Structures are given as C-alpha cells and as structure tokens.
Amino acid sequence: GESVGLHLPTLSVQEGDNSIINCAYSNSASDYFIWYKQESGKGPQFIIDIRSNMDKRQGQRVTVLLNKTVKHLSLQIAATQPGDSAVYFCAESTGFQKLVFGTGTRLLVSP
C-alpha cells in the first residue's frame, strides 16, 4: 500500500476501544480547524471541523475538542473499528481557506 509517512507517530488500539488523537497547532490566530482521514492509496477524507468560537463538536462516533489556551486539538473516535485504521491529519486555517496541515498520526486498530 501507499506510505504517506514513514516515521509517523502511531497509536495502536484494540477494536471497541475509544481512540484519542492529539494535535498541537502553531498559530494562535487560527480560527478554523479540521480533521482528515487518509487511507492507503486515497486522498484525505473530511471527518469533522470546528471553528474557534466553539470548544467541542460531535459527529457520528467522532468528537473534536479545541483548547485555544494551549493551542491543542484532539479527535476522539468512539468504539474504534478496524476500518478506522488510517493516517489522521489535523489542519488549521487563519482565514482565506489556506489550510496548514500537521504531519499526521497513524491509527492501527487490532481485532
């Protein structure tokens, strides 16, 4: 399969566990944040986004938490499934829709 990062931080979990993927962002002026999932051989797939006027947003099995004080973003995946195995990227934007991506975290889910 395609390797999108040879030395990515890796999170290994068991199927059914909850997963938490963390991201530290760099720009205190960033006002929009987004999480993507990238599977081997595919492009990044939108998961969930959050604006800076919020600190939590929930989707289907996913929750994003934003802590602007420490410039930290997290993605929580409930009841992780083998199909969740992928590389996850956070990205930030200060407007004009120019996204700055993090380097990614690989999530490995064992049956």
Binding-site ranges for other proteins (CB under 8 A): 2-8, 31-32, 34, 36, 41-46, 49, 51, 89, 91, 93, 95-99, 101-104
**CB neighbour class for 77 (10 Å; exposed up to 12, middle 13-18, buried from 19):** buried
The whole-angstrom separation of Cα 87 and Cα 107 is 6
Closer residue to other proteins in complex, CB, 15/71: 71
Closer residue to other proteins in complex, CB, 45/81: 45
Residue 2 beta carbon to other proteins: minimum distance, rounded to whole angstroms: 7
Closer residue to other proteins in complex, CB, 19/37: 37
Residue 4 beta carbon to other proteins: minimum distance, rounded to whole angstroms: 6
Give the residue from 56, 53, 50, 48 showing the smallest Cα distance to 32: 50
Count of alpha carbons within 13 angstroms of residue 46, beta-carbon side:
7
Closer residue to other proteins in complex, CB, 23/109: 23
Indicate the length of the chain as a whole number.
111
